[in-house]
Chains A and B, each alone.
Chain A
Amino acid sequence: MARISLEHIDKVYPNGYVAARDLSLEVADGELLVLVGPSGSGKSTVLRLMAGLERVTDGVIRIGERDVTDLPPQQRDIAMVFQNYALYPHMTVRDNLAFGLAIRKQPRDIIDQRVNTVASSLGLDALLDRKPAQLSGGQRQRVALGRAIVREPLAFLFDEPLSNLDAQLRVETRVELSRLHRKLAATMVYVTHDQSEALTLGDRIAVLKEGVLQQIATPMELYQRPANKFVAGFIGSPSMNFIEGVIQRSDATVAATGMCTFKGVDLTLDVPCDGNRRGRVFLGVRPQHIEVSGDGENAPRAEVGVVEPMGNEQIVYVTLSGGDKLVAVAPPEEIIRPGDTVSIHIRPEGVHVFDAETGKRIEPSPQRV
């Protein structure tokens, strides 16, 4: 196993499309790093750069201590699981698993032994003589996984491996992958566009947007201290609410409490601030931090549009009188119907402030008590 490091990677396609810009990140030995982002964010390209299937325009890639920037994929000793599995259709499952070892001219008995071990650990024993066309989606997925494991590579790369599975199988395979990661203690890089997959699987998560790294952090930190408005909106479900408004500084208050006054169209709120900012900001509030209730006199009032019952909670879409739209999560026992007028309360501890121009997070001032 080995660490992977990208140092100032640029990838520009001949048609001028920039897939990665000055990207630096490091995957520690034995770590599972998830690359996440919307489509077109360059996450798959970054994975293909690590695999050597694409050449970097600029920058250095290291696997272990070795500079592999100019090495073709076959000399990098990494394994990759493709989105559509890419099993060799003319070979049996056994030959698919053995291919990487056979190409490296391993002795026959070692190949057989390793193929059998991996096959039984993945429950593929009975399928070894079948062709990929005779397998179900989940079985193909496991063969693709087995083909990667059997080679005992320096690192594993996964390109949205679960996206072709149905919902239930996806959750099961996710758990299986997590277990596998712990068992092999292998370095893994995992690409997905699904933020919940990222949060559940990753030791750390790197969020990409248009080829630029937005933030790399543990799932908890990403959720609790998103570095900018994009990360805040991308991570978490339902998505974070953003309310535009201005920060009004009152030096005395800041000094005393570390709080500023946020003024939006409908809301006025005390929020943490760094004490030297004044101007347009976005207030970010997760739906879980908005309370919706039928009573409450002074709180701003809103009209309920849609209610989505989820069983353990309900997702409520409301519109404030000034036109701001918010999403809130309410406990299941609360009786809320579309068309109701409700009052909303924002819990101040769950509030994030982002600069309206740069989108960057504004940290609370350090002197806050």
Chain B
Amino acid sequence: MARGGRPEARGAFAASGKRDAVSGRLHRRATLVNWGGWIFGAALVLLMIFTLFPFYWASVASFTSDAALFRDPSLIPGHLIFDHYRALFTDRDFITPIRNSLVVAGTTTLFCLVVGTLAAYALARIEFRGKAAIMAFILAVTMFPQISIVSPLYLLLRSLHLIDTYPGLIMPYMTFAMPLTVWVLTGSIRQIPKDLEEAAHVDGASRRQSFLRILLPLAVPSLATTGILTFIYCWNEFLFALSFTLGPERQTVPVAIALFRGQYQVPWGEILAAAVVATAPVAGMVLVFQRRIVQGLTAGAVKG
């Protein structure tokens, strides 16, 4: 963006230099544009520092030895120590929580997208009685404070023998992830022009065909966005994961990290290394899907 703005600003300066008679207003405008650019740039840098600094700090600390961490911690990495990462995968078996998190978050996201898309299609496209009530009800489900439903859910899951199992986490996760998916997808399906499906009907497509061949491909960008949101939500979830698992076999990443701290000491280096490992796949996934999202958005034009 900054690069795009610069030549324009330079052009304005050149013009004001050549023609001084007209330049009063022009000059002021050029200066203003320039200031705006600088302020915008500075704000961007500040925002980047604000959001990225914690992650940077954690990363640097995860490569610093415990001794250095407690004596004189530095923001500039000296020589990198991989001890914490090695400990993570040898002493602690961090692979298991990552696998658990992937299974739970991935399955939840998949279910949410499949069921959510169908529900959202119905809510966005089909006229039926009580639609507003259903939308409100779906939203209301998310309104319960999580902590207030932990105990009843625990009892419920225990009676179903689902404590410390994958389904025992996936099903509770869907209670908060599904409403999110349905709401976001209903909104984005409504944005897709109805004309397209009508054109498909007239062209000979049944409702199912127009859904699969017209609507679904056009909804892919919003499906990806919603999927990422849901996945992150589930990946970071802590309370349910802590309450409904018993041992390291089914614990997810946040729970595992929380249980790192021993009786006498907090292994900050390892905790931070784990945080980096847990963040990396999510960040990577967003970067991969981002291209897909942008592609989908630019190809969506309908009208001239």
Which residues of A are interface residues toward B (Cβ below 8 A)?
51-53, 72-74, 76-80, 82, 84-90, 99-100, 103-104, 131-133, 136-137, 140, 147, 151, 157, 164
- Determine if A74 and B300 form an interchain contact, defined as CB atoms under 8 angstroms apart: no
Which residue of A77, A80, A133, A164 is within 8 Å of B199 (Cβ)?
A80
Q: Which residues of A contact B198 (CB under 8 A)?
A: 51, 53, 73, 80, 82, 86
A103 contacts which chain B residues (CB < 8 A)?
200, 203-205, 209, 213
Q: Which of A78, A79, A85, A99 contacts B200 (CB 8 A)?
A: A99
List, sorted by A's number, 14 A–B pairs whose CB atoms are closer than 8 Å. Answer: A74-B202, A74-B204, A76-B202, A77-B204, A79-B203, A86-B195, A86-B196, A86-B302, A90-B218, A103-B205, A133-B298, A133-B300, A133-B301, A147-B203
B206 in contact (CB, < 8 A): yes
- Contact (A80, B193) CB under 8 Å given A89-B300, A90-B217: no
Main secondary structure of the interface of A (DSSP, over half): loop
Q: Which residue of B lies closest to A84 (CB)?
A: B303
Smallest CB separation, A152 vs chain B (Å):
12
- CB-CB contacts of B286-304 with A at 8 A, as 1s and 0s? 0000000000001111111
> Which B63-105 residues sit within 8 Å CB-CB of chain A?
none
- Given A82-B195, A84-B193, A89:B202 Cβ within 8 A: no
Closest CB of chain B to A145's CB: distance in Å? 13
Q: A89–B303 Cα gap in the complex (Å)?
A: 10
CB-CB under 8 A from B303, the residues of chain A are: 84-85, 164
State A85–B302 Cα separation when bound (angstroms). 8
Which B residues have a C-beta under 8 Å from some C-beta of A? 193, 195-196, 198-206, 209, 213-214, 217-218, 298-304
User: A191 to nearest B CB, angstroms?
Assistant: 14
Alpha-carbon separation in the docked complex, A58 to B300 (Å): 38
Chain A residue at minimum C-beta to C-beta distance from B303: A84
B299 touches A89 (CB 8 A): yes
Bound state CA distance, A140 and B193, in angstroms? 16
B202, A88: Cβ atoms closer than 8 Å: no
Interface centre among A87, A90, A132, A157 (most CB of B within 10 A): A90
Bound: A114/B126 CA distance, A: 35
- In the bound assembly, the distance between CA atoms of A73 and B301 in angstroms comes to 25
Verify B302–A73 contact, CB threshold 8 A.
Answer: no
Closest residue of B by beta carbon distance from A77? B204
Cross-chain contact A74 with B214 (CB below 8 angstroms): no
Using Cβ atoms and an 8 Å threshold, which residues of chain B touch A164? 303-304
A72–B199 alpha-carbon span in the complex (Å) = 13
B304:A73 contact, CB within 8 angstroms: no
> Could you tell me the distance between the alpha carbons of A91 and B12 in the complex, rounded to whole angstroms?
42
B125 to chain A, nearest CB (A): 13
- Pair A99/B203 contact, Cβ less than 8 Å: yes
Chain B residues within 8 Å of A147, by CB: 199, 203
